[in-house]
Structure 1
Amino acid sequence: MIAIEATIVATAMPQIAADLGGLKLYSWVFASFLLTQTAMTVVFGKLSDVYGRKPVMLAGIAAFLLGSILAGFAWSMPSMIVFRLIQGIGAGAIQPVGMTIIADLYPMHERGKIQGYLASVWAVSGVMGPMLGALIIHHFSWAWIFWMNVPVALLASAGFIYFLHERRERRQLSIDVPGAILFTGAVAALMVALTDAGDGRATRAWIATGAFLVLLVLFIAQERRAADPMVSFSLWGRRPIAAANAAMLLGSMVIMGLTTFLPMYVQGVQHRTPVVAGLALTMIMVGWPVGSTFAAKVFPRYGLRPMMIAGSILVPIGACAFLLLGPDNSPVLAGAGSLVVGLGMGFMGVCSLVLIQEIVGLAERGSATASNIFARNLGSTLGAAALGAVFNFGLSRAMNGTPVSSEQLTAALQSGAGVSPAIEHAMQQSLHGTFWGVLLMSLLVMIATVCIPPTTIGRRRQAEVSGPSNGTH
């Protein structure tokens, strides 16, 4: 459910936005989901330590299912955003707890094979998502984009209920609820500031920026005094971890920018079908697991840092392809760029995770892994908001300073025929602005990766041969 969500919703969103209106809130449909997912990831990870994996996983599936059902009944873009927030809460439980269950079930020397299975899940979902999305919006209501999660969620819940048995050992941990609340508020304020700045609402943007700074200071103060902080600053302060996480944060911003705006360009500017737009985007989801699988096999020979640097070079190379897009270009160019970006991120993803897991002790490995997931999710959240601001900024200043209305953009997305050439040009220029932003972020990915210091990683054979330690089976 989580893997297919990225591509199936991205493929259908131009039609959903055209139906619901409020196109200026387009990026918030993605950002709202990622906001709650990011904020709740570490919280649910700690809750699973206290109450067990199964109940937290089942609660996450229930929240995701509730959000999916409600999203199918959305009557406006604001209501869709609210229901996507609920979906994100569920995703915030499913992703980290699922990875924790795998760590409970398999010793270290077997987890590489399981990670390969997970990579195949993302690859299959990446291919199926756009195709299913296109078929559903052509033959059914777009609501079934969300309602299709119902049978999957019920089957997954039944599987955990009947097959996952754990002898839970209660551990007394304090959940950093104030930290989670302050973090959520700070990121929300930052997204509001970016969105309003792009819309030209300077006063609201400055107010939101002030709120972000205040909440950020309070969040830092809370984390420094919390017994079990949501974010361990001492862990994040280590240079290899900080640089690797920064690279993945920026890389996630690149991926989210393409996920949000590439389908809009292919459909709204090149006037291609949702199927074609989805296939162009799918190549990212194909390239990522392919790159991960290849990197996992060769990094023992060449080292983690060189493989990460190689991946970071591929990302801006792929991003350059989007700057060459035009109304008459073949979508193959967009697909090729997506594939190269996906390969680069696949190299970086698996190597960064192994790097930060192996340079810390066993007692810190869970927190180090969570920091990497946190950085990826935070990057996706900020990427949707920042590049959405770039897009809105371009629209507000198109056509010699005359803003382009949501109705005009809706008409361009719905038909693509009979639309003013000036409107099409405004959309093209605004989307090219977002692609320039993607290229800038990809260059920053390369810089952050180069900053990772050469690190000697020792092998911990005793950890690799040990079996599950918490009684989960």
Structure 2
Amino acid sequence: MKKTNRPLVLAAVMLAMFIGAVEATIVSTAMPSISADLGGFAKYSWVFSSYLLMSTVTVLLYGKLSDIFGRKPIFAIGVLLFLFGSLLCGLADSMEVLIFYRFIQGIGAGAVLPIATTIVGDIYPAEERAKIQGYLSSVWGISAVTGPAIGGVLVATIGWEYVFWVNIPLGILALLGVMLFLVEPAKKSKPSIDYMGAFLLTVSLTAFLYWLVEGGVGFPWVSVQSAALCGGALIAFAFFILVERKAADPMMPFDIWRNRSILYANLVSLFTGIILIAVSSYLPTYVTGVMEQSATVAGFTLTAMSIGWPIASFFSGRLLIKFGYFKTSLAGGVFLVIGTLLFVFMEPGFGPLWAAMSSFFVGVGMGLTSTSFIVSIQAAVSYEQRGSATASNVFMRNLGSTIGVALLGSLLNSSLLKYFKEHNLDLNLNSVNELLTQKGREMIPAESMVYLQEALGGALHNVYAVTALFAGISFLLIFGLPRKKGVGADVE
């Protein structure tokens, strides 16, 4: 009988992780240039929100489908959709079109990270997972180190389109590696797909996301439209819970949440998702618009997070074996709090090195917590639930990022508008576009430049203050994790 070629499958999974790393860092680095080229700074956060919304909604469905039909076919569908969306994104000629293509890209992205991570949980025994997941997360981070730098170079030379197209050849190699060298056990279960649950969750998250992004900007927070969106989101989510409790094979099996390892790991991941998107989405904007640095320099400040992440992930496997999940996660929580507080105290005169240092500490915190959570969750469930359990953690982190980019984007926009109104300035959100490139800044009158930079700096300071608050919440939630040592399986 043919056996799985573990080294080649692991290499293919690492390439899949590279896609996720590049997507998170290169696009963030390129966004100031994309916004300056296509216009529409008011829709800046929607470029992230559209992608995150669909990847968040589909991750649970893909996790369940992989438990039913196997990892290979679902992984293939996700990667192909992601690559098709990447191709289209590079062809976008307006911000609205780019947002639509990002929806397509996000639909595919929902399969890449959770199934790649689940595959590693399948092919390695419990005692090896801590080390391998640490390596996997390290490679994800090491790959991301080159992302911001390459993104900055591509933007400065041949154009931002290539930050999307760079995914395509590596995605094809990852797909071939998994399809050719992964051997899965035969599936005996009868397919039962929770379409209604997927639909209701999509409706709920879409309404909630639109309310967060446009509230206070497109319509007043206290208005009929605001109440309709918020109420609709809550009603749809209530129906989602009812449907999941009655479904024969729910996309979100609530019984796995009774395990404390899964419950608290997922709750912490919700808030770390907010922290991650706050740094990756808005740090380049601060460095280019307020500190007046190039896209390349902004990319290197994000690279610092990508350096901290793999270093922490590499050591987390050893820390998990020696100290257990709780102490390793707690150390990660401390680094997240330190990193976010450094952002709060950041001033334009501190320069990009301060931004890079803050980013590095956040990366260390993410590396320690994410690796610990994945290993603990996969040890807490059987093979038949591993896809859903792993997907639940990725879902919560993605949900955090989805909520974060909407909430923080709304906070940013409303803070800018408030500043313009208080100072009686004839400026709007699109006026910020000119701040994001050297050429644009040269066209802004000196007096307007001062006001715009002060407005953007103050608005981003508000964003980082809220991010630090979420880091504090995540630190407190870590105390709910079980405090036993070791990384053995909890179930047979």
Task: Give the alignment's TM-score, normalised by structure 2.
Answer: 0.88
In 1, Cα distance between equivalents of 2:487 and 2:27:
42
Partner of 2:47: 29
Stretch of structure 1 that moved more, 328-337 or 283-292:
283-292
In 1, Cα distance between equivalents of 2:360 and 2:164:
27
Q: Check conservation: 1:200, 1:393, Cα contact below 8 A.
A: no
Unaligned runs of 5+ residues in structure 2 are 1-18
Cα deviation, 1:138-190, whole Å, max 9, x if unaligned, reads 11121111122222233333334443455643421311111111111111111
Instruction: Tell whether 2:356 aligns with 1:335.
Output: yes
Cα deviation, 1:200-259, whole Å, max 9, x if unaligned, reads 612333221121111111111111111111212232244443222111110111111111
In the superposition, relative to structure 1, how do residues 184 and 340 fare at CA in structure 2: closer, same or farther (>3 Å)?
A: same
Partner of 1:350: 371
Q: Check conservation: 1:65, 1:153, Cα contact below 8 A.
A: yes
Stretch of structure 1 that moved more, 311-320 or 202-211:
202-211
**Among 159, 170, 184, which residue is 2:202 paired with?**
184
Q: Check conservation: 1:176, 1:228, Cα contact below 8 A.
A: yes
In the superposition, relative to structure 1, how do residues 458 and 283 fare at CA in structure 2: closer, same or farther (>3 Å)?
A: closer
In 2, Cα distance between equivalents of 1:235 and 1:158:
32
Q: Check conservation: 1:200, 1:396, Cα contact below 8 A.
A: no
Partner of 2:435: 412
Please state whether the residue corresponding to 1:398 is helix, strand or coil: helix
In 2, Cα distance between equivalents of 1:117 and 1:457:
18
In the superposition, relative to structure 1, how do residues 240 and 50 fare at CA in structure 2: closer, same or farther (>3 Å)?
A: closer
Partner of 1:468: none
Residues 403-442 of structure 1 aligned to structure 2 (within 5 Å):
404-414=427-437, 415-417=440-442, 418-419=444-445, 420=448, 421-442=450-471
Residues 58-457 of structure 1 aligned to structure 2 (within 5 Å):
58-166=76-184, 168-199=186-217, 201-202=219-220, 203=223, 204-360=225-381, 364-401=385-422, 404-414=427-437, 415-417=440-442, 418-419=444-445, 420=448, 421-455=450-484
In 1, Cα distance between equivalents of 2:483 and 2:168:
47
Q: Check conservation: 2:339, 2:361, Cα contact below 8 A.
A: yes
Task: Give the alignment's TM-score, normalised by structure 1.
Answer: 0.92
In 2, Cα distance between equivalents of 1:237 and 1:167:
28
Residue identity matched to 1:11: T
Stretch of structure 1 that moved more, 177-186 or 454-463:
454-463
In 2, Cα distance between equivalents of 1:399 and 1:240:
47
Instruction: Tell whether 2:63 aligns with 1:45.
Output: yes
* Root mean square deviation, CA, Å: 2.2
In the superposition, relative to structure 1, how do residues 191 and 461 fare at CA in structure 2: closer, same or farther (>3 Å)?
A: closer
Q: Check conservation: 1:120, 1:289, Cα contact below 8 A.
A: yes
In the superposition, relative to structure 1, how do residues 163 and 234 fare at CA in structure 2: closer, same or farther (>3 Å)?
A: closer
State the identity as a percent.
39
In the superposition, relative to structure 1, how do residues 210 and 153 fare at CA in structure 2: closer, same or farther (>3 Å)?
A: same
CA positional deviation for 1:99:
2.3
Unaligned runs of 5+ residues in structure 1 are 464-473
Residue identity matched to 1:175: I
